[in-house]
Amino acid sequence: MNYRILEKKVLIPGQTTLLVIDAPHVAKKAKPGNFVILRTSEKGERIPLTIADCDPEAGTVTIVFLVIGKSTAELNTLEEGQALHDFCGPLGRATHIEKQGTVICVGGGTGVAAMHHIAKGHAAMGNHVVAIVGARNKDLLLFCTELGSFCPEVLIATDDGSMGHHGFVTEVLKQRLEEDKDVSEVVAIGPVPMMDAVCKVTKPFGVKTTVSLNSIMVDGIGMCGACRCTVGGETKFACVDGPEFDGHQVDFGELRLRLSQFRPQEQESMQLFQHKCTCGEGK
Amino acid sequence: MSEKATKAAKLPRTDMPVQPPFARIQNYLEVALGYSEADAMAEASRCIQCKKPGCRQGCPVEIDIKGFIGKLQQGDVPGAYKVLREYNSLPSVCGRVCPQETQCEGMCILGKNPEKTGGAVAIGRLERFVADTFAKRLAGGDAACLQITGEAACRMVHDDLKVACIGAGPSSLTVAGYLASLGIKVTVFEALHEVGGVLVYGIPEFRLPKEIVRREVDAMRELGAEFKTNWVGGKAFTVQELFDEGYKAVFIGVGAGLPQFMRVPGENSIGVFSANEYLTRVNLGRAYDFPNYDTPIFKADEVCVVGGGNVAMDAARTALRLGAKKVSIVYRRTKAEMPARLEELEHAIEEGVQLELLCAPLSLNADENKRLVSMTVQNMKLGEPDASGRRRPEPIEGDTREISCQLVIIAVGTKPNPILLEATKGLALNKRGYIEANPETGETSIHNVFAGGDIVTGAATVISAMGAGRKAAKEIAKRLLGTEA
């Protein structure tokens, strides 16, 4: 099986990249909320990534990743025409999408990519989708144009005020919820502290809040329990029970600590990789 | 006792050469090194060729053990391999991983009075010798067919007959090998990125080298079987879609892969792993060779493994090899009730694994950063026998103790993985959530959909999964080819 990279787009240089992968059987089945697991090489680890978009007719799946460690750095070295070693999906439960009125989709960092696919699904169902996108500054904003093509409202927040609201997405969200009592659901995808903060904002409004958890995973098919998280006091597997859960029930503190489980090894691997890259380029 | 048996008594059971414990815990290579030809001939000569062999009754797939050892006694390795292959699809695997002491060897007449007879014939070691020796000698055009069937020529090719297997573990590999040798086109769909199921993600390299699984799979490929990795049944495709695409029968061999946790406080702390995760990282991900391979593994000085089966032994011995200073098996009964294969338990103890018996975890205790620091256990005593015939462990009221550990590996069993089952309409399950299959044919509640292995029986052995695969494969062949295969 050849999972060729048909298109590579650097969204934020050295940081965030978009790849369009040739994977017809995955594209045929993928729904908003699903994820894939890929490997870049025979020695690579399994990397879970939420699907950012897919085109069943073209047979393509779009993924967006943040260069955060060795494996994603290596993925970032692949160019158009090259192929991934493994590409497995679609995995996880799809987002529950029904006609329900106004849905606010909040995205932070690379999470905007996954949020984009879900927002698109809600829009296709005929819901009024309000997108709220946040980043540190305007150069780091992702998918605003794409979201604008199907969302009647795209609200922006930047930490430095270089575009849109000067501050956090949660402040924009809070204001929007105060103005509009008919919001039926909030979807939040992004870094753990952001999702946690969104849930704290929506709680007093009693609005259903869905989050997508980016736990550590190995197989992604329920075999190992690496991704277990506490939701409503019960242990759940993000890969097969999720990755989406009722945000008001999620133990974000535990999730944040569990994500740090392999940090020393991740750093060791990254340092070795950077060393090799520098030597390889003859610097 | 017959004259032959008395004569055999003079020969003790032939030892298997092994890597010495101090050396082997420094590497990940196979521990048991296999018989030399002289060892094998000496051991084979101990078999008295009983008129009514008990060993065969002890074998879940009723291998003609007397027959294969008889051939070996004559020095006929290909003949011995052919006998094995009639019953067993992966003899090189079973020779290594079967619990022979409770199966064939447990029924051997020479084992009844070991002081006089030198103990049961080492059937498993002979099986391994035959399979490994035969494979080493294979070469040329007929190699694949010889490997799969022990015969030089396979049947004609039936390109129009397609069968799908879901999962690529022991049961599916058996179906694939059997049908491929009859010329039926088999496609095996595997969810992970490597073929072999538990043989590659679960059982460590030091007990079953992956090369052996690869050799079998390569032979099947050679015969036209196709392996599609990264295809998750129930997600990337459904059973119905396979029929729509022209497959005539479907075999489900997806195993019982969902790990069970203990539901004690602190179980989600950092440093607590299911044995499935720990072993998958190390075996499938080759984390023992990190950072050369990218998959990381969690290391700690003090490790506790909860459980008394083979998986617990594998996890404990793996942790030792990864540099742990102290590894303890925590088990709620005693050594005598441990379900692990005897050789694994002995090897583990030789390597320095400690046993914390008659205790069960009460809580996993972590520091303020949720990192594991110790385990509190309830001390137990043995009461009356339960349904399994083993004496039931009972808590000693108020008697607890604390074991210092920074890594806990939970190996207390598995449950069926629901992904494919939920996606397959009309598939009947039993009360425990496993697939209902006809014990004679392996057929499920859906016509021409078969199932076997752990997804039918719950966690069991490689050999019983292969036995189920074989039954199903025979029935599929009969239906597709219209004759007894």
Token pair, residue A170, equals 């949660």
Residue B238's alpha-carbon distances to A17, B232, B420, B480, in angstroms, are 33, 9, 8, 21
* Residue in B closest to A92 by C-alpha: B235
- CATH number, residue B66: 1.10.1060.10
B109 with B173, same domain: the answer is no
pLDDT of residue B47: 95
| Domain A3-91, second-level architecture | Beta Barrel (2.40)
Contacts of A2 in chain B (CB under 8 A): none
Residue A282 has pLDDT above 70, yes or no: no
Residue B386 has pLDDT above 90, yes or no: no
CB contact under 8 A, B276 and A224: yes
| B147 in a structural domain | no
- Residues of chain B with a CB closer than 8 angstroms to some CB in chain A: 191-193, 201, 228-232, 235-237, 257-259, 261, 263, 267-268, 270, 273-274, 276-277, 280-281, 285-286, 290-298, 369-370, 417-419
Q: With respect to CATH, is domain A102-212 assigned 3.40.640.10?
A: no
pLDDT of residue A263: 86
B103 with B241, same domain: the answer is no
| B146 in a structural domain | no
- CATH number, residue B407: 3.50.50.60
B218 with B127, same domain: the answer is no
| B149 in a structural domain | no
B116 with B220, same domain: the answer is no
Q: What is the mean pLDDT of residues B209-224?
A: 90
| DSSP secondary structure letter of residue A44 | P
| B145 in a structural domain | no
| B67 in a structural domain | yes
Task: Among B362, B391, B414, give the residue marking a domain's end.
Answer: B414
Mean pLDDT over each residue of chain A, to the nearest integer: 93
Contacts of A268 in chain B (CB under 8 A): 291
| Domain of B170, in residue numbers | 155-257+416-481
The nearest CA of chain B is from the CA of A13 a distance in Å of 24
B387 with B268, same domain: the answer is yes
Sequence spans of domains, chain A: 3-91, 102-212
ipTM computed for the complex: 0.93
Burial class of residue A249, CB neighbours in 10 A (0-12, 13-18, 19+): middle
Specify whether the CB–CB gap between B451 and B472 falls below 8 A. yes
Q: Alpha-carbon distance B301 to B367, whole Å?
A: 16
* Residue in B closest to A258 by C-alpha: B270
B401 with B420, same domain: the answer is no
Residue B144's pLDDT band (boundaries 50, 70, 90)?
confident
CB contact under 8 A, B193 and A46: yes
B429 with B442, same domain: the answer is yes
pLDDT of residue A280: 55
Token pair, residue B228, equals 């599609």
Residue B267's alpha-carbon distances to A280, B271, B273, B360, in angstroms, are 44, 9, 9, 14
B66 with B128, same domain: the answer is yes
B405 with B420, same domain: the answer is no
Q: What is the mean pLDDT of residues A164-182?
A: 94
| B143 in a structural domain | no
| B150 in a structural domain | no
Mean pLDDT over each residue of chain B, to the nearest integer: 92
CB contact under 8 A, B285 and A89: no
Residue B8's pLDDT band (boundaries 50, 70, 90)?
low
B368 with B267, same domain: the answer is yes
Q: Position B193: which residue type? A: H
B271 with B296, same domain: the answer is yes
B379 with B434, same domain: the answer is no
Residues 21-80 (A) with a CB less than 8 A from some CB of B: 25-26, 29, 39, 43-46, 70-71
- The angle, 0 to 180 degrees and rounded to 10, between the axes of the packed helices B77-87 and B65-73 is 170
What are the tens digits of pLDDT across the range A80-128? 999 999 999 999 999 999 999 999 999 999 999 999 999 999 999 999 9
Residue B480's alpha-carbon distances to B21, B207, B401, B483, in angstroms, are 51, 38, 61, 8
**Domain count within chain B:** 3
Q: What is the mean pLDDT of residues A209-230?
A: 95
pLDDT of residue B315: 98
